[in-house]
Structure formats: structure tokens, C-alpha cells
Amino acid sequence: MAAPSHRRSLRRRRFTAVSAAVLAAGTGAGVFVLHAHAAAVDLYHQTLPAKDGWAASGTGTTGGAKADSAHTFTVGTRAELVKALGSASDTAPRIVRIRGTIDANTDGSGRRLTCSDYAAGTGYSLAAYLRAYDPATYGRSKLPSGTQESARAAAQNRQAEQVEFKVPANTTVVGVPGTNAGITGGMLQIQNVDNVIVRNLAFSATEDCFPQWDPTDGSAGNWNSDYDSVTLRGATHVWADHNTFTDAPHFDRANPKHFGREYQIHDGALDITKGSDLVTVERNRFTDHDKTMLIGSSDTDSTGRLRVSIHHNVWKGIVQRAPLTRLGQVHIYDNWYDTTTVDGYAPQYSIDSRARAQVVAEANYWTVPSGGKVAKLLSGDGTGSVAGSGNLVNGTATDLVAAYNAASSKKIRTAVNWTPTLTAGLEPAAKNLPTSLATTTGAGVLQ
């Protein structure tokens, strides 16, 4: 961890640059203070500041900042978004400005598509699926297979073709201020590409019409869905900044149960898996969601990768995975976790360190309602580490690992194998985060 004196000198330099930039730009707007280096650059062309987390490593993250006019788009419909994203083979710098909310479940003429539209012609129906794979007759030892499972997969593929948006390398996808910019019902897929920026977008209602039953998942089986609002798979140099994530308007409390288990239509909000690396997740609002952020999709996801910085985000109404970390070096600082139950989302834990994850969690603020247990803010499998100090619970300095370990048989380790150095903007004091982050996070803040 950076020595305090080093941090102070970093901040001093930063504030000097801020003053000059603010004077030059003739504005004192707070958002310019956050990205002082780019005060003269518009929202669409801004790049990740130097040393701002793991995504600043090496070549840094510039997205589509160098886009020419032929690769600069403003889009307002699903069809326009697909066209603007082009193909994975065209890696010319690209800026895609989203104006208003794009509904992923709409056809070329803007007609709203329903789950029934995707299922039509496949032979799938939930009633038939439930009859085919009822544990009372099908058992619990094997995954569904056969006519109804094939039909379900076919219907799911049809929805996937509609709602998955593949982002090519060297791209900035950014919301136009003042337009409620975002994507509803969709998934931005950043897969096996480098250098992507996602900013100022509200992601909502990413839902799978066709959850799959897995009787072998856990002790009682689970319904699993595809589609994260934003998914990173084998992606490098990604900056997710000032976005909002929510399940609204369909909250999990409305999900029915089948086979005694919640029929879960949501997957992750922002998942970082399959060897993704060098990611900065900054000033987002994660709200009203269960499985929020997965870093590493299995205990063998990849080694030497999954390096992620997560700072100045708000997590409110989150059940779990904020984040769930595996294998990687993950820096979690200056976040505000509000563990009050919101819209029926009752928190289970915030940070899970497993599969030898090397987490540094420092200067975060937890709001815990009366009756909430500090020992349950963390989770682990006995192999993960969590280091770091300066964490506050309801304003009081708290050793979260000590509290967790005192109540758990699978202890979290406290030694980590690395020291964060890409820490621009790190505030060692968490005390004011609930106030400062309330107005400086999520979509709609940037101008």
C-alpha cells in the first residue's frame, strides 16, 4: 500500500492540476474536478486518468477518444446501436453516444418483443418444461436434456441474438447528458477485446425469459439465467464509470418459485470473468440486485489476471457479490455500502474473497441497520485474503476481517501478495463518503 506521504504528494499534485484546469475551463463544476486532466475535453472524448486503478496500467484506457467522424455515432434505438457498434473486426476507435433509453427487446421497427415472441415456433412452454424436469419424476442427478430443454435453449438463443450487444475494441459507449441515457433489457458484452469505456449509462431490467433449471446447483437446485447488464469476458483495459445498475422495475421479490426455488430471471449486474484483466470500476451505483459483480467465474478462471480496481461506488439494495472475487488482485476503496434492505433485497454479504483472491479493501464505509451483523459483511472459502484498513461501519473504525473470522470456521487471510500503486483519487478517510457519493455517482451526474 502506498505510504501516507506518497499519497499526500499525489493529492497535492492533483489539486494543483485541478485548480489550473478549473481556471482554464472557467468553471467550478464538480464533475470537472473529478476528471481535472480532461477539463478541456468533452465527456465523449475523456480517457481514464493516469494511475486511476488497474485499467490505467500499461497503455491505459482511452476507448474511442481518437475516433474520426465516420466512427462517431449518436443512437437512440436498438437497431441504431447495433449498427454503430459495427463488427468485432473493425477496431478503429469508435464513439457511440446513446441518447435516451434503448429497449433491447424491440424489433427493427421499434415494436416491443415479449418472451412469447422468442418462444414462438420453438415448442417451449414453461408449463411443459416444469412437467418434463420435475425432480419428483426426472430426479436431481442430471441437468435437463431432451425436447423441452432443447426448445428452451432455442428460445433463449433467439432472445440472446436480440439483447446482446457486442462491443468492439477501442470503443467508448457513453450516455448523452440530460436524456436519461441507458439500455433496458440488454447486455453489453465486452469479450476478448481491449480498451473499452462505458460511461454515464443507466442499465435496467436485464432479464432472461428462459431460466434453466439445474438440480445439481447447490443442495436444492437453482434456476439460472444468462445476461449481465455489462459482461466482461477476456476483456482488458475497461473503464466502467458513472453508470447505474438496477433490476427495476421488476424486483426479485416478484419472482415465483418453481421446484421450491426462486425462478431467477437476473444474472449479474457487471461481471468480470474468463481471464478479464486491468479493469477500473468507478463512481457507479449498484442498486436493487442479487448477484451483482462476479470477478472470476470459477476457481480456475485464470491466473495472473482478474486485476480490478473498484472505487467510489454506491452499493445499495444488494444481496451479494459486491463483489465476489476469485484469484485476482482486487483493490476496493472509498465505496459506500448501504446494507439496509431495499425493495425486498435483503443483503447476505458484501465482499467475498475466495479461490486465493488477493483483496485490498480500504477506506470503505458500511451503513448497517440496527440488528445487522458486522461479521456478515464479508464471506470466503478459507483461501482468500482481505487486507486494508480505514473501513468504517456507521462511522466507527472496524476490522471487518477480525469480526468475520471470530464468527467463521473458514478464516479469511490477512496477508496479500501485492501493494496497490494505481490509486489516483484515493481518499484515506471514509467518513464523508455517504454524503459525497450520494451526488457524484451513477448515470446522469456527468455533464
- Catalytic positions are 321
Regarding 168 and contact with Ca ion (CB under 5 A), the answer is no
Which amino acid appears at position 140 of this protein?
A: R
Stretch that binds Ca ion, among 49-57, 117-125, 268-276, 330-338 (CB under 5 A): 268-276
How many residues belong to the site for Ca ion (CB under 5 A)? 5
Nearer Cβ to Ca ion (93/323):
323
Regarding 224 and contact with Ca ion (CB under 5 A), the answer is yes
Closest approach, Cβ 192 to Ca ion, in A, equals 16
Regarding 267 and contact with Ca ion (CB under 5 A), the answer is yes
Regarding 191 and contact with Ca ion (CB under 5 A), the answer is no
Regarding 408 and contact with Ca ion (CB under 5 A), the answer is no
Terminal CA-CA length for the chain: 33
Closest approach, Cβ 294 to Ca ion, in A, equals 6
Nearer Cβ to Ca ion (267/288):
267
Stretch that binds Ca ion, among 52-60, 83-91, 101-109, 271-279 (CB under 5 A): 271-279
Closest approach, Cβ 212 to Ca ion, in A, equals 9
Query: Other CB atoms closer than 10 Å to residue 320's CB: what's the count?
Result: 19
Stretch that binds Ca ion, among 14-22, 77-85, 225-233, 338-346 (CB under 5 A): 225-233
Closest CA to 436 of 31, 22, 160: 31
Regarding 211 and contact with Ca ion (CB under 5 A), the answer is no
Closest CA to 392 of 337, 321, 315, 318: 337
Stretch that binds Ca ion, among 7-15, 217-225, 258-266, 439-447 (CB under 5 A): 217-225
Regarding 268 and contact with Ca ion (CB under 5 A), the answer is yes
Closest approach, Cβ 268 to Ca ion, in A, equals 4
Regarding 77 and contact with Ca ion (CB under 5 A), the answer is no
Regarding 228 and contact with Ca ion (CB under 5 A), the answer is yes
Closest approach, Cβ 224 to Ca ion, in A, equals 5
Question: Which parts of this chain interact with Ca ion (CB under 5 A)?
Answer: 224, 228, 267-268, 271
